[in-house]
Amino acid sequence: MFKTDRISRIRPELEAIVGGDAVRTDEAEILMYSYDAGMARARPEAVITFSAAEQVAPVVKVLYRAGIPFLPRLAGTNLSGGTIPLKGGVILNLARLKKIRRIDTGARLALVEPGVVNLELQRALEPFGYFYAPDPASQKVSTIGGNIGENAGGPLCLKYGVTSDNVEKLEVVTPEGDVRTWSYRDPGPDLMSLMIGSEGTLGVVTHAWLKILPVPRHIRTVSAAFRSLDQAMKAVTRIISEGIVPRALEAMDSVSLEAALNGKASPFPEGTEAALIIELDGPDAVKVKREQENVESICAGAACTAFRLAADESERELLWQARKGAYPALARLAPDVLVEDGVVPRPRLPEALRQTREILAKYKLTAGLLFHAGDGNLHPNIVFDRRDIQEVKRVKKAGYEILKSCIALGGTVSGEHGIGVEKRVAMNWLYGRAELDFFRKIKDAFDPAGLANPDKILPVASDARAEAPPEGLAERASLSPEARAVVDELRLRARSGVPTAVTGLGTRLKPSGNDGAKPLDLSQLAGAAVIDRENLTARVEAGLPLERFRAQLKEAGLNLDLPDLKGSVGGLIASKAFPGVKDLLLGLEVVTAEGELLELGGRTVKNVAGYDAVRLLCGSMGAYAVILAATFALSAGSRRAQAAFEEGPGAPAFAPDPYQVRLKRALDPRNLLNPWIYGAAAAAEELP
């Protein structure tokens, strides 16, 4: 019980907004919302159930004024304790906000409320011949709001992207109760993308405009069996590096297969240790068939023991039921399951799996290995009994060691399940102090009172710090001498408070009466791109002209799905001349106004550890940080049709959103970087 009753005094105000029955403080309700699908537990003080999206902002305003913490909750299937009210307060139950308000096939958009269950949206789209790409295995119950809160992925995300690639626009209630609508196409830093994966710590999504796609005319689903995980992974690496992009490329080990079959006869030969489910799609039947044949010969080359095309829809359904039903099936083996969610660069997956198995053996634990193999995202499902304290300790240790091994392999600690409370400590192993400070400033800019889902994502004082500097940041040592010189110069200027005008090739961002800022020319940062052929990524310095980058990729038989724009790589990102650039970016290396060097994102194709600062910096126009280098996701093979895009006459005059201004003040409080962009707004006394 909480020592003081904080709810009674605001209850009449709350009830006036949502109705008397909608504010609950009875024991049954409190208990029900004290847990979610993760391991943490804590009691809220009240649960408010909304019947209209318009009720959310006024309720948040009341709670903010009263200084009471709150968090949005939907199906509670997140696996990181994201909906556990660590500081008590109020659960905002949005589950009844489940209207699909519009399906517009012309604009390829669906407008939905946050409580819409993912699978119900898919069913509503079916008669129109459309689908929404993110398809988490939990889609029967998990909701669009929760998917946005965690930046959920699923099998189809290999080809069609995760949640943040499939959202057009969001309506958000900020922690102070303001209603804002943000699209990634808005001028300036990308606030919409920042909201995605922010786990209710920066605001509450009340409406979402989602991108929908026509169902491909031809889909072929195959399964492939192998005698070892290593052989299966060999096939996966070849498929990706050959430039085949299946719509799904999922893997299961023998423990998961056995659990999923639940006593039924196995469709795979005896001795099968791993199986792949591979799905190919496209508008051209001949091409899809050819891709299937290529996949078959790759699998044969990796000693596949059985390769089978699903003959009809019911066989296809069976395969997907096995994959999506594996978690519940494993959950039947023991009272509890811990699902880890590490990600590694794709070529490192075999090593990551080997190490994972060694760790599980060391701690004498049973786990089914399920993974989005095409994304390098592995989910060991460790079964255990929480009543056995010794076993729980072993499970926690093993989970942490698995995450540390992913970091050491150049990966990250969460691909799609989020950080919540359960992986907060792992943020200390992944990031250095500077990156965590950067995230903290983002949080404080949105939520100065710290009331929105407090103590989630960012480590708190009691979370053990890493003993040694995180290994994942070793890349920094590879900064070129030119980049080092830029960092040194910015540090000098920061020390003496000299403002900087950041310029690339000057194609788009031109200082306008630059307030006496001293120019910093980044065109010298133009070393050749470092291409990782197997991972399909390239690290490029910010000053490299796009034409030269494209030429280098062409020579390597690779491609970046960008329109033919001019200018530098850094200029393209900072100006957001092509808003879709966000979907190609995996990581950024930047220097802050105070000369701190940050590595944001990385070389994995999925990463939800911390706020999406990479996308936030798209369109930041050099005013939040200076971009030194970027890592892009590539595609193999010849150039696809150029993305339909016409560069306009130039960005409209930038009238910053109040939250872009807040971020400017948090990230560059002395207005040292491109000071004319925010001008007087950056210095005003009152927070907007």
Ligand X SMILES: Cc1cc2nc3c(=O)[nH]c(=O)nc-3n(C[C@H](O)[C@H](O)[C@H](O)COP(=O)(O)OP(=O)(O)OC[C@H]3O[C@@H](n4cnc5c(N)ncnc54)[C@H](O)[C@@H]3O)c2cc1C
Which residues are at the interface with ligand X (CB under 6 A)? 36-37, 71-79, 82-83, 94, 114, 136-138, 142-143, 145-147, 149-150, 152-154, 199-200, 204-205, 327, 416-417, 453
Ranges of H-type helices in 162-305: 191-195, 229-241, 254-261, 285-301
Question: Closest Cα to residue 233, out of 250, 220, 210?
Answer: 250
- The rounded distance, in Å, linking the Cα atoms of 521 and 543 is 9
Q: For residue 158, give the H/E element and its range.
A: helix 157-160
Residue nearer to ligand X on the CB measure, 82 or 282: 82
Residue nearer to ligand X on the CB measure, 146 or 470: 146
How many CA atoms lie less than 13 Å away from 198 in the CB half-sphere?
Answer: 28
| Cβ-contact 433, 598 below 8 angstroms | no
Sheet holding 585-592, edge to edge: 530-532, 537-541, 625-633, 585-592, 597-601
- Smallest gap from residue 305 Cβ to ligand X (A): 27
Residue nearer to ligand X on the CB measure, 70 or 429: 70
- Smallest gap from residue 606 Cβ to ligand X (A): 9
Please report, for residues 546, 593, 666, the alpha-carbon distance to residue 309 in angstroms, rounded to integers and kept in the order given: 42, 56, 55
- Smallest gap from residue 171 Cβ to ligand X (A): 10
Residue nearer to ligand X on the CB measure, 75 or 403: 75
Residue nearer to ligand X on the CB measure, 147 or 272: 147
DSSP result, 565-632: --SBHHHHHHHTSSGGGGGTEEEEEEEETT--EEEEE-SSS---SS--HHHHTTT-TTSSEEEEEEEE
Residue nearer to ligand X on the CB measure, 150 or 281: 150
661-680 CB burial, b ≥16 within 10 A, e <16:
bbbbbbbbeebbbbbbbbee
Burial of 343 per CB tally in 10 Å (0-12, 13-18, 19+): buried
- Smallest gap from residue 483 Cβ to ligand X (A): 35
| Residues paired with 587 in a beta bridge | 601, 631
Burial of 27 per CB tally in 10 Å (0-12, 13-18, 19+): exposed
Rounded to 5°, the CA angle 186-161-588 comes to 65
- Smallest gap from residue 330 Cβ to ligand X (A): 9
Burial of 286 per CB tally in 10 Å (0-12, 13-18, 19+): exposed
- Smallest gap from residue 173 Cβ to ligand X (A): 8
Q: Which residues contact 642 (CB under 8 A, 6 or more apart)?
A: 563, 564
Q: What is the 3-state secondary structure (H, E, C) of 46-65?
A: EEEECCCHHHHHHHHHHHHH
Residue nearer to ligand X on the CB measure, 420 or 567: 420
> Which DSSP category does 635 fall into?
E
- Smallest gap from residue 484 Cβ to ligand X (A): 38
- Smallest gap from residue 5 Cβ to ligand X (A): 24
- Smallest gap from residue 572 Cβ to ligand X (A): 29
Residue nearer to ligand X on the CB measure, 34 or 524: 34
- Smallest gap from residue 277 Cβ to ligand X (A): 13
Residue nearer to ligand X on the CB measure, 72 or 89: 72
- The rounded distance, in Å, linking the Cα atoms of 322 and 320 is 5
- Smallest gap from residue 199 Cβ to ligand X (A): 4
- The rounded distance, in Å, linking the Cα atoms of 571 and 652 is 16
Residue nearer to ligand X on the CB measure, 316 or 417: 417
Residue nearer to ligand X on the CB measure, 114 or 342: 114
Question: Closest Cα to residue 136, out of 281, 250, 275?
Answer: 250
- Smallest gap from residue 433 Cβ to ligand X (A): 25
Residue nearer to ligand X on the CB measure, 74 or 597: 74
| Cβ-contact 82, 420 below 8 angstroms | yes
Query: Cα 157 to chain center, whole Å?
Result: 11
Q: Which residues contact 340 (CB under 8 A, 6 or more apart)?
A: 378, 379, 380, 382, 399, 402, 403
Residue nearer to ligand X on the CB measure, 38 or 504: 38
Q: Which residues contact 393 (CB under 8 A, 6 or more apart)?
A: none
Residue nearer to ligand X on the CB measure, 327 or 578: 327
- Smallest gap from residue 453 Cβ to ligand X (A): 5
- Smallest gap from residue 456 Cβ to ligand X (A): 7
- The rounded distance, in Å, linking the Cα atoms of 267 and 93 is 43
- Smallest gap from residue 540 Cβ to ligand X (A): 29
Q: What is the 3-state secondary structure (H, E, C) of 471-482?
A: HHHHHHHHCCHH
Residue nearer to ligand X on the CB measure, 439 or 678: 439
